Amino acid sequence: MGPVGLVLLDTCALLWWTLDPERLSATAQQICAAIPTEGGFVSSISIWEIWIKQKKGTLEIRESLAGYVDRLKSLGCIEIVPVDEQIWLENIQLDWDHSDPADRTIVATALTKNLAILTKDQIILDFYPKAVW
């Protein structure tokens, strides 16, 4: 198992791992290097968040979103975790004064699945003890 155990990639970590790995920290590079053999997780809300970033014009990827998701799935080492009622309930019960729905859902997913989170987001790093960058 990698240096932090099983890991959930937040949206930026996912995008940087798959599209711009030089932006990953040394620790993040080490964790991501283990994903092909150890596996990794992504919340399905990250797909929505990528779409939002594309719609706002803050993200451009060279393929359709559906193509990107298909490529992720074809790697065979990433599990896309659906946001189910258990994760939604965890999300709304978080004792966290943070209103970003994607961040809350990523943290709720990690809590529900007992995963570390790979993120550069300082707000998540400050809140979730198993978050690393």
Mean pLDDT of 115-124: 97
Topology of the domain covering 42-132: Rossmann fold (3.40.50)
Question: What's the pLDDT score for residue 107?
Answer: 98
Label residue 22 by pLDDT band (50, 70, 90): very high
Averaged pLDDT score across all residues of the chain: 95
Label residue 2 by pLDDT band (50, 70, 90): low
Q: How many CB atoms lie within 10 A of CB 125?
A: 14
pLDDT digits (tens, 9 = 90+) for 63-107: 999 999 999 999 999 999 999 999 999 999 999 999 999 999 999
Please determine, for residue 4, whether its predicted confidence score (pLDDT) is greater than 80: no
How much of the chain exceeds pLDDT 70, in percent? Answer: 97
pLDDT digits (tens, 9 = 90+) for 34-53: 999 999 999 999 999 999 99
Note the pTM of the prediction, 2 decimals.
0.93
Question: What's the pLDDT score for residue 5?
Answer: 78
